[in-house]
């Protein structure tokens, strides 16, 4: 059980930053610096980033900045789809997929929203500068509602797991 949170700790920031990287490539920006993993061992809880050049257009900047949040929504939808299937009775695999595809993106959306609400001038602040506060808050509210709904659906799917899987295997 303790392995899954440790794995989350080391995949959260790289996935978020690689999503920015993908957004930068989509708009034709050149990547000049990448830091994927904060120095957790030195007490950093943040500090991953990408730096790009060659794309100063406001909408290109928006695509690069918002891409992790669209990736979060895509991950959640994929997580619901995959975890609704009877793919495995391995609790570790199911727990890992649930963390990676549902809980990680939900955490990203909630954590970044709290930062935005408390005045952090990160991704969501820059998104709001481009599309406005109302559109940003609407997107966040709908995204968080979708993520919470998805988590509830997946948890409901695994009610009684792994005991039910063990019973089915012995019948």
pLDDT at 169: 56
54-78 burial: b if 16+ Cβ within 10 Å, else e: ebeeeebbbbbbbbbbebbbebbee
Decide which of 13 and 130 is more confident.
130
Taking only the tens place, the pLDDT of each residue in 24-54 is 999 999 999 888 877 767 777 667 788 888 8
pLDDT at 3 over 60: yes
Query: Which residues fall within 8 angstroms of residue 132, CB to CB, at 6 or more apart?
Result: none
Comparison of pLDDT for 159 and 138, the residue scoring more: 138
Using one digit for the tens of pLDDT, what is the confidence trace for 77-130? 999 999 998 888 888 999 999 999 999 999 999 999 999 999 999 999 999 999
Average pLDDT value for the chain: 90
């Amino acid at each position: 059980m303790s392995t899954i949170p440790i794995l989350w700790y080391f995949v959260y920031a790289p996935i978020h930053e690689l999503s920015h990287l993908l957004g930068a490539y989509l708009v034709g920006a050149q990547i000049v610096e990448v830091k994927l993993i904060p120095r957790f061992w030195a007490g950093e809880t943040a500090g991953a980033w990408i730096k790009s050049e060659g794309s100063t257009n406001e909408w290109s900047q928006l695509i690069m900045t918002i891409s992790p949040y669209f990736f979060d929504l895509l991950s959640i939808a994929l997580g619901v789809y995959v975890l609704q299937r009877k793919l495995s009775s391995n609790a570790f695999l199911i727990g890992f997929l649930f963390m990676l595809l549902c809980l990680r993106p939900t955490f990203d959306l909630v954590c970044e929203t709290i930062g935005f609400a408390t005045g952090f001038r990160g991704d969501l602040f820059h998104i709001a500068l481009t599309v406005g506060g109302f559109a940003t808050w609407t997107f966040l509210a709908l995204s968080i509602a979708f993520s919470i709904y998805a988590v509830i659906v997946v948890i409901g799917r695994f009610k009684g797991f792994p005991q039910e899987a063990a019973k089915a295997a012995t019948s």
